[in-house]
Amino acid sequence: MNENNAQYWVSKLGLLPHPEGGYFKRTFESEECTSDQALTVNYEGRRKLYTSIYFLLTSKDVSHLHRLKSDELWYYHGGSPLTIHIINETGDYEEIKLGMNLDNGEVLQALVPKNSIFGSSVMAEDTYSLVGCMVSPGFEFKDFELFTQADLLVKYPQYKDLIMKLAYEVIPE
């Protein structure tokens, strides 16, 4: 297999399809937990202090717009640069380019703040991007919210092009 091929990484790392798009595998999680009483995060019960995944996205797919109740740190590992598209809690849009070309405004790691609506896309055609994502407090699917185009167009009509590209028309079952 060729390490420049997305399928190589999917196979070697044991990645599985992710509901938001792309492929993932949980790699680490804290043995310690915290609760909503100890933090300002609004969730029920206890959460791991952190969880971490590999995440691979091809240029033929996107990471659909979603929201987490926790901060998520992204780390660039390889392939082509990746753009993280963020609509923060105040409704402002930010674009972060994750990659190795620092002279071109790319960064090696980036933070997506909790409660932001975000998704990602690979910047080049016919390629992939391999990143790591660490969520703190730890990721749980019950804290994961996917959006439809209709959901977001009502609230953020100024981002119509982004929403049409990165939001689901209908949430898959």
Residue 115 burial (CB < 10 Å; 0-12/13-18/19+)? middle
**How far apart are the C-alpha atoms of 7 and 19, rounded to whole Å?**
18
DSSP 8-state secondary structure symbol assigned to residue 142: G
pLDDT tens track of the chain, all 173 residues? Answer: 466 799 999 999 999 999 889 999 999 999 998 877 767 667 777 889 899 999 999 999 999 999 999 999 999 999 999 999 999 999 999 999 999 999 999 999 999 999 999 999 998 999 999 999 999 999 988 889 999 999 999 999 999 999 999 999 998 87
Q: What is the pTM assigned to this prediction?
A: 0.92
Q: What pLDDT score does 173 carry? A: 77
Q: What pLDDT score does 11 carry? A: 96
| Structural fold of domain 47-166 | Jelly Rolls (2.60.120)
Q: What pLDDT score does 3 carry? A: 65
Q: What pLDDT score does 2 carry? A: 65
The closest alpha carbon to 53, from 112, 130, 145, 108, belongs to: 130
